Amino acid sequence: MARAATTSDVFNAIAEPQRREILVLLRGGERPVTELAEELGMTQPGASKHLRVLREVGLVRDRKAGKQRLYGLDARGLRPVHEWAGGFERFWNESFDRLDTYVQDLKQARQED
């Protein structure tokens, strides 16, 4: 089955490591594309392409500030990812509970020796 186009699917958009790095950088506030490109060691056109994808899936917003365009994080677009990943919370909680029980049993066994 073909995957959804990167520009319309948040999961595909964030599958790209450099796009995730852009999101991490934007957590600190708005930044111009030139600054993002420099920070990531890529060309400005390359960074612009990634920003376009992130903007199209609703993870990044932009605004004009004088002669430059500033990009900012719009984390609301991550809601589907958060909800999907949250579905695994029960699994991890149960796994950690079993591990805790095992560790407590080991501690008790050592105290009894």
Give the CATH number of the domain where residue 36 resides. Answer: 1.10.10.10
Q: Which residue has the tokens 């009894």?
A: 112
pLDDT at 7: 59
Domain contains 32? yes
The ranges of the chain with pLDDT < 50 are 1-4
Output the pLDDT for position 2.
46
pLDDT of residue 6: 53
Q: What is the pLDDT of residues 29-57, one digit of tens each?
A: 999 999 999 999 999 999 999 999 999 99
* Domain assignment of residue 31, given as a range: 6-112
In a domain, 34, yes or no: yes
Residue 87 lies in a domain: yes
Residue partners of 44: CB distance under 8 A and separation at least 6: 33, 34, 37
The answer to whether the beta carbons of residues 44 and 33 sit under 8 Å apart is yes
Domain total in the chain = 1
Q: Which amino acid is at 48?
A: S
Q: What is the pTM of this model?
A: 0.74
96 vs 109: CA distance, rounded Å? 20
pLDDT the model gives residue 94: 86
In terms of Cα–Cα distance, which of 63, 60, 57, 62 is closest to 73? Answer: 60
Kindly tell me the number of DSSP H helices and DSSP E strands found in the chain.
6, 3
Token code pair at residue 83: 């909800």
Whole-angstrom Cα distance, residue 54 to residue 34? 16
Place of tokens 């991890």: 92
Residue 1 lies in a domain: no
Structure token pair of residue 39: 């920070």
